[in-house]
Structure 1
């Protein structure tokens, strides 16, 4: 466990900051002579080495066995990002490039925005598309056995989806028909979430025309659809080639591992979904998330909102842990703000 920054001396903070900034720029371990040439410390290389040794004992720096220099640990990077980083706001050119893509049809705008974010950050750009729930046109249950049925949903856009659902014991075929007719007749034109809300309201007020068994059946069918839909966000990934860090040419296993992970978009979606429910930026460094524990990568993700303030999606990047956080974090934040304006 790393120490809080308040327990570090000013000299230790200065050396630590220089080591981290140098490492993030070069990707290479940093030696005491390199730090001494930066100026402003008035410390000899020997004194700097002592400070770096102290920082290593604090868990903030590590010494690779192939080098006498030091590099920040994941805990050190977390401390730097949370307490010491001086953010660099996107330039006018970068802002204009992002805003130029946030227009037109929504999915095209999101894909284009993800691409430009990837290019500007030299990372893989990610966008989670707003979850769209189909509007109901027709709903039916097809019995499979004494405790299961196939729920068939037909959307107003013509889409048809099938899902096996559990049904209460002893439900008759006529009860299945009654439940389906109720959904198709009373809840047509609503999304699943709206249908569930209306049904709950009617049941609570005693207005439902169904008997108790049919009520449970309808509620269970809709709950399955809503839950299934919420687990299937749509992902757009652009710029995966940027994940091949030039400083990691010798580490081909890491590159393969990372590219394999990117292909698992559902896993990435689950990771970014942690950011979806938040109101602010999320930064995951290395093993802070299981998905990238092996490849040593960072995720920066920010939610974007609908006009009513609801979080409807997430935009972010994936890159090496040594990415330029001071530049990329504000860039992702600006992109999220731009997409929020697009959704207005």
Structure 2
């Protein structure tokens, strides 16, 4: 028995599809009698049982515990999603619910949060969205001495935000150097984004136009780099609807659900996973152990990128839930939500 759709017989493909669809619908192992009774295959339970045995031998189905029924393996789910599943447009009621929450006329941040809530409610999963990382613009950068070796860099953004960082002082820094460095940023770099400020500093140093001594140049560079590095470590990730994961079927698998809820607390790791979806032009589906983060809980992630005004990918929206998902319904919902956000931000 072949393990790819193209090499499977029609009979094997039909039985495999029915097992997967029945399992995704009920969450229960599927037996040959169930397939025989509910399908139009005109095959006896014995014939169906033989096909299911073949599918188990090539790793597409598995028999949990002592059950006579079969469930799809992660490999089987991947084969089903990639080669058999019929994906249609979202249902009209799903589209209406998503659009109603997104198109409320409020700030874009509210629309993004609402999109996550809509996906969570409709899919009975946890909704997730990776928000565009807005690069702050500088207004002021002041240095307050802590000791002979450290100072606090007080960063004021053009939006009025104030953040503090502790920076190690390079050799040769005096109190006058701290003031000189802060004055330079306010006079020459104010209004620029972080990357623009770093580029201008480097350019003026190369051209000898920085009007700063070596110690002050290094101090400004360290302050800008520290702000950049700290900001990059804090992705803006919104997770909604974790309670949806505690559904009626969760009682039989509380350890898996508890593990998934723990994993959802690791937002930096989830953001890194979603960053992989930013690089693609379309939906990405991660099933179970295909991604290391959710290998223990056996969860699936569906994520689609959305775009800003210049057509550039700026974020990712999706859902996280058990591998037993209605992929055919949820995939188009995620895709539709990503496109709706793209239209809103265009």
Q: TM-score surpassing 0.5? A: yes
**Cross-structure match for 2:252:** 250
Q: Is the 8 A contact 1:285 1:299 kept in 2?
A: yes
- Counterpart Cα distance in 2 of 1:53 and 1:120: 36
**CA 1:141–1:32 in structure 2 vs 1: closer, same or farther (change >3 Å)?**
same
Gaps of 5+ in 2: none
Aligned residue for 1:133, secondary structure, equals: coil
- Counterpart Cα distance in 1 of 2:337 and 2:4: 31
**CA 1:299–1:180 in structure 2 vs 1: closer, same or farther (change >3 Å)?**
same
Aligned residue for 1:99, secondary structure, equals: helix
1:210 deviates by: 3.5
Q: Which deviates more from structure 2 when the two are superposed, residues 159-168 or residues 2-11?
A: 2-11
**CA 1:330–1:315 in structure 2 vs 1: closer, same or farther (change >3 Å)?**
same
**CA 1:3–1:203 in structure 2 vs 1: closer, same or farther (change >3 Å)?**
farther
State the TM-score, normalizing by the size of structure 1: 0.90
Query: 1:1-344 alignment to 2 at 5 Å?
Result: 3-103=3-103, 104-144=106-146, 148-203=150-205, 207-344=209-346
Gaps of 5+ in 1: none
- Counterpart Cα distance in 1 of 2:24 and 2:207: 60
State the TM-score, normalizing by the size of structure 2: 0.89
CA RMSD after TM alignment = 2.4
1:92 deviates by: 2.3
Deviations 1:134-171 (A, max 9, x none): 32111023445566443221112222111233454455
- Counterpart Cα distance in 1 of 2:36 and 2:200: 68
Q: Is the 8 A contact 1:243 1:318 kept in 2?
A: no
Q: Is the 8 A contact 2:233 2:268 kept in 1?
A: no
1:174 deviates by: 4.2
Q: Which deviates more from structure 2 when the two are superposed, residues 158-167 or residues 195-204?
A: 195-204
Aligned residue for 1:130, secondary structure, equals: coil
How many residue pairs get aligned? The number is: 343
